[in-house]
Structure 1
């Protein structure tokens, strides 16, 4: 997610077709096209990469994979907020595209309708993919989608501001609270995060909830209440602006860029914008945990490529070749470099981290990152709504964190 999830659609980076094309053509996945008895010359694709540079870069990757598969790609890009409603309508009218990209939390909902084909039907390998990546693409023990690259969130900090204050990057909640309070002065807040009433607000809260043992199946627990108390305390003591209740992740980035926040919770898709400001020296660490012995657990973001059940086996076989190609080793590395994301295969991620140190923390987090739908499947959206509702209730002072979680869970 910058979310993509869920707002990781816009990256300030210029890409030409030459960036990934040679790599893409050199290594594509295998499909099960033999024996279909039909000739396929065109494959339709739908995705939500409608902003640059993703629109062009992903389009070039798809075209190259089409060349490898011997088909022309007919691509449609739609706004992210419109994709699921369009997919459900197309499923009902039996007009689904041959290849469909989905934000990973949405896969379960679509797979549950029977609209997608298991990738095992086409012998697409899932070897070496990180466990969280496979979990995000799995429904009822079958893999329906694979993500070439993924992302997550971490804690960015302004090196100059922290050094001037004599503060080292925090690793625990107490250190975070003390640092954020000390770094708050004048128009500068110690920390910025997004707590708005959308899935994005839930996404940014998950690291502190999960790392403390909280569970999305039941948010009315002491562990989740402790996490929400942390968020509440940071807003209450003024270390985080109350505007966080309405900010998007892009707004959080803008606050950090403007020097109005010494630290922020955000993802690697913001790196191109940060790097444009030459005077900004920043670092990235894992989001702090309550106790030093705990493991920082982050949510997995990213889009999966799927093969819909169109009823045309020959076209599905060709579509599977395109999906396999989009997930090839060469494509994973090319996409990760251009899009500031992490290759989904663990061996590739290790190589990538050594060559891209700014993404090393995110690469480490992806190893243990959790899919939001891993436990609840298609039930995730309803519970995600309860989580951000509780956050809003607590941060606005309408109820204590524990009471806000109890109220939300009971709805």
Structure 2
């Protein structure tokens, strides 16, 4: 186990000026009980759900799990980016919350900073969690936290548009088949596909299924496989199969394009399912195809429930009870249905499917998905991702060829992760 003070020194070196101006509220406190009986009183919980107030089902569930553990839980919701800054600063100041729910790519950043305990320290069981989902929180053989749920990407399709073009969605199992379908759809006067290619993590998130589906690896962005993936999307734009707007599209704006009813396909996520049901569109969902056939691995989204390092390690006993409560099968089903997540355990997924059969393609997609920080990339991923979305921007805009854009991106990424 890394000592508390070694962790603190490592964190101080990492935080720097990026969080110097952040403010801090709702922090854990208490005197050390030197690993003895778990302290009672108030336990603090931070999450990225500021939309949920004190009357929400989520807040009530968090509080209920605290009550069952014999303590009071004080929950605070922050915007995702703000939460990361606050967590870094709190760790530097020895003032971390008892429980911290963060977007899964952030786990490696916080773990590298020495903020988080691993599951061996807290005696947290992760045996029932699907391995591909859990991998997003694993670094150097250690697991930091438990996933609260997962989402990912697939292709929504408009049945009316595909029928008009004579396209059978069940035949779309490769890039060639998809491109042929887009060509047929465009010939009818409709538009082929919309996606998010914006120059942010959203752009990388949506590019990854094509990148991984080509067989490419994030440690070599400019491989021939990687170039084929970027060439695929660039060709779609150049041929009019995808609109020029994709270069600035967020996942929300690309979804709004799909809801016009003029697009055959939309690359988007689990979180749009509720909206498409009320949209009036006759829709379907298929997995994103890989280059040569079969489903491509799409990136997993969703949060991990972690237990930050505390000077008083006896607090971990209660924190783990709260964590276990929130990640029980019953509460997975309740929480993940509310958040439009697929549960990370087979038992909870089966209960979700029994209540909501149209989740089936999403359970399949999550089963094929992959964590962005998997392959032990950890804190290297954000640096690689930044160069990847820049390359996509350069290629989609026509300022560079896909090969040149990715070669430049690989040089920059290699320098950044040294």
Do both share a fold (TM > 0.5)?
Answer: yes
Name the structure, 1 or 2, with higher relative contact order (CA <8 Å, separation 6+): 1
Are 1:233 and 2:235 counterparts?
yes
What's the CA shift for 1:154? 0.2
Relative to structure 1, the CA distance from residue 328 to residue 54 in structure 2 (aligned partners, 3 Å threshold; closer, same or farther) is farther
Relative to structure 1, the CA distance from residue 182 to residue 105 in structure 2 (aligned partners, 3 Å threshold; closer, same or farther) is same
8 Å Cα contact 2:175/2:290 also seen in 1:
yes
- Secondary structure of the residue aligned to 2:61 is helix
* C-alpha separation in 2, matches of 1:70 and 1:54: 20
8 Å Cα contact 1:235/1:241 also seen in 2:
yes
TM-score between both structures, scaled by the size of structure 2: 0.86
**The 10-residue stretch of structure 1 (362-371 or 376-385) with the greater mean CA deviation from structure 2:** 362-371
- Secondary structure of the residue aligned to 1:43 is strand
Q: Match of 1:244?
A: 246
Relative to structure 1, the CA distance from residue 144 to residue 270 in structure 2 (aligned partners, 3 Å threshold; closer, same or farther) is same
Relative to structure 1, the CA distance from residue 320 to residue 34 in structure 2 (aligned partners, 3 Å threshold; closer, same or farther) is farther
- Secondary structure of the residue aligned to 2:320 is helix
Q: Match of 2:213?
A: 211
Relative to structure 1, the CA distance from residue 160 to residue 73 in structure 2 (aligned partners, 3 Å threshold; closer, same or farther) is same
Q: How many correspondences in the alignment?
A: 377
8 Å Cα contact 1:148/1:328 also seen in 2:
no
1:105-156: CA deviation from partner (whole Å, max 9, x where unpaired): 1100100111111122222211121111221121221111111211110000
What's the CA shift for 1:160? 1.6
* C-alpha separation in 1, matches of 2:398 and 2:326: 47
RMSD value over aligned CA atoms?
Answer: 2.1
1:228-283: CA deviation from partner (whole Å, max 9, x where unpaired): 11110111111111111111111111111121322100011011111122x21110
What's the CA shift for 1:78? 0.9
* C-alpha separation in 1, matches of 2:264 and 2:55: 32
| 1:86-235 paired onto structure 2 within 5 Å | 86-169=86-169, 170-184=172-186, 188-235=190-237
* C-alpha separation in 2, matches of 1:291 and 1:39: 57
* C-alpha separation in 2, matches of 1:174 and 1:187: 21
**The 10-residue stretch of structure 1 (216-225 or 318-327) with the greater mean CA deviation from structure 2:** 318-327
- Secondary structure of the residue aligned to 1:227 is helix
Gaps of 5+ in 2: 1-32, 413-418
Q: Match of 2:327?
A: 327
* C-alpha separation in 2, matches of 1:186 and 1:97: 56
* C-alpha separation in 2, matches of 1:38 and 1:356: 40
1:195-214: CA deviation from partner (whole Å, max 9, x where unpaired): 00011101111111112211
Q: Residue 264 of structure 2 is aligned with which of 240, 259, 262?
A: 262
TM-score between both structures, scaled by the size of structure 1: 0.87
| 1:238-317 paired onto structure 2 within 5 Å | 238-277=240-279, 279-292=280-293, 294-317=294-317
* C-alpha separation in 1, matches of 2:347 and 2:128: 7
**The 10-residue stretch of structure 1 (59-68 or 182-191) with the greater mean CA deviation from structure 2:** 182-191
- Secondary structure of the residue aligned to 1:342 is coil
* C-alpha separation in 2, matches of 1:107 and 1:39: 26
| 1:20-31 paired onto structure 2 within 5 Å | none
Q: Match of 1:81?
A: 81
